[in-house]
Structure 1
């Protein structure tokens, strides 16, 4: 299933289920209003959301409406923590505040793409298979840094269950293509691969994780130099060209 959090004036937004083709959405009211509620009680609430998604995909919901990515916050705007595992196995931690997919950057920054896994409860010292069992949802995130300091973490509009990724998900590994448009010009796409279960197990090596923490596997630095007035469109796509998590679109104010 595909989930998003619509802006409603609150800090966490309102949970919606999104159709597989990204054309329709439906509020999850009556099941849960916030994604954190679902992560806290996944075994009970997730099957109900799955049923809602099936009905939505078959056009059986009277109150469905057109999905508008511009209305989305990050799927989980306030996580219980954000940790990124880099290519060498090092771990960086942050508070876990995620900006919307369309929030402008205040200044030019260097970006790092990350496959972000939203987790359920995970015991300390869990191995990779156990960590993969605790993985609930995936999304795309970008850490933005100025002079090495993290200034923002931006998330794509959708958090999806791994099964929604089709051929892009195989044996606990995501294989996809990172597509970037810089000022409307397409950059050379880059094939990326990540195993979020391994990243979760590494972060949980010394301490337990609680439902609602987010752990990322680095997909590498973005090879884009941003300047004032620039725009950037980022999207992870499967081999068949379908978006994995919706696009991150940002602009920098003109000088």
Structure 2
């Protein structure tokens, strides 16, 4: 089952189910007004939402044509947005480029930060750039949307907390990062609003491509129409989503509607490309002593998507343009 949120003039939009081909949607407000409403009452709503999706896929109802520009983020605002860094190749590269050693617990203790969740960008919404000197970057990620997570949840129990999966472009202002980290208190100004994919999908929708808390599909990243990344999201995700849930729930409970990100998808094989400019610049610094790839500028376009073995665009496409802010 795939779900989306359509603009209706309200903050949270209206919930729809998405036809399998991605070309039509069916209003789901007879079951739940919004995705957050559905997540709050998941046990009562999930079967009815699946039934709506089945009628749409079977052609029993026509639905309404899908207009990507009318879609909000599946959750236009979320209770929490927590981002990990589960791809250790990315961590090692960016730290090596700046002459910093990885933390000694890199392979045993996930890195996470908590981002802003009150304003989330729609999948086709412009990215405002107030000052080009801030170093605007994209970051391609896989995310899960959680149900209620009790404090102390173990990885072995965490699969039951994963309700939906989606993609994210976790925008970063790279030039603002060093000064913030030097304060020893984490990211804030350097992490503006994140964009999410048009569709949020139930894990079973991926079939065997969802395994052991990982999405075993390739992320395609295009910059100004050129493919710069064709990355395998599965094998090199050192910490699975189940591991990340265990980590964040060690001392806290989380409410339904929390979004948990994988961090920048990264592969050791350079032929796969990259999903954030900082990683490419790190490679240039390591190899040549100078970073030559520029950051994003006004007028640039960025696209992220994942296709399954049949070529279906599982999560829809994040397609954004950078504009002067």
TM-score of the aligned structures, taking structure 1 as reference length: 0.93
The aligned counterpart of 1:162 is 203
Q: C-alpha distance in 2, partners of 1:95/1:228? A: 23
Q: What's the CA shift for 1:241?
A: 2.8
Alignment of 1:139-158 (within 5 A): 139-146=166-173, 147-148=176-177, 149-158=190-199
The aligned counterpart of 1:189 is 230
* Distance change in 2, residues 1:65/1:86 (3 Å): same
CA shift digits 1:195-216 (9 cap, x unpaired): 3222222111111111111111
Q: C-alpha distance in 2, partners of 1:191/1:21? A: 23
Q: Would you say 1:15 and 2:15 are equivalent positions?
A: yes
Q: C-alpha distance in 2, partners of 1:244/1:199? A: 23
The aligned counterpart of 2:281 is none
Q: Would you say 1:206 and 2:276 are equivalent positions?
A: no
The aligned counterpart of 2:163 is 136
Q: CA RMSD in A?
A: 1.8
Q: Would you say 1:90 and 2:111 are equivalent positions?
A: yes
Aligned residues: 254
| Paired residues of 2:146 and 2:161 also in contact (CA < 8 A) | yes
Matched position secondary structure for 1:54:
helix
The aligned counterpart of 1:40 is 40
The aligned counterpart of 2:70 is 71
Q: What's the CA shift for 1:156?
A: 0.6
Counterpart pick for 2:316 among 224, 246, 250: 246
Q: C-alpha distance in 2, partners of 1:11/1:197? A: 31
Please list every run of 5 or more consecutive structure 1 residues that lacks an aligned counterpart in the other structure. none
Bigger strand share: 1
The aligned counterpart of 1:55 is 55
Matched position secondary structure for 2:216:
strand
| Paired residues of 1:80 and 1:95 also in contact (CA < 8 A) | no
CA shift digits 1:147-203 (9 cap, x unpaired): 221012110110000111133212432111111221122224111124322222211
Q: Would you say 1:237 and 2:290 are equivalent positions?
A: no
Q: Would you say 1:112 and 2:139 are equivalent positions?
A: yes
Matched position secondary structure for 1:151:
coil
Bigger helix share: 2
Q: What's the CA shift for 1:219?
A: 3.4
Q: What's the CA shift for 1:254?
A: 6.6
Q: What's the CA shift for 1:44?
A: 0.5
TM-score of the aligned structures, taking structure 2 as reference length: 0.74
Q: What's the CA shift for 1:47?
A: 0.6
Matched position secondary structure for 2:38:
helix
Q: What's the CA shift for 1:65?
A: 1.2
Q: What's the CA shift for 1:115?
A: 1.6
Q: What's the CA shift for 1:244?
A: 2.4
Q: C-alpha distance in 2, partners of 1:136/1:36? A: 12
Q: Would you say 1:121 and 2:142 are equivalent positions?
A: no
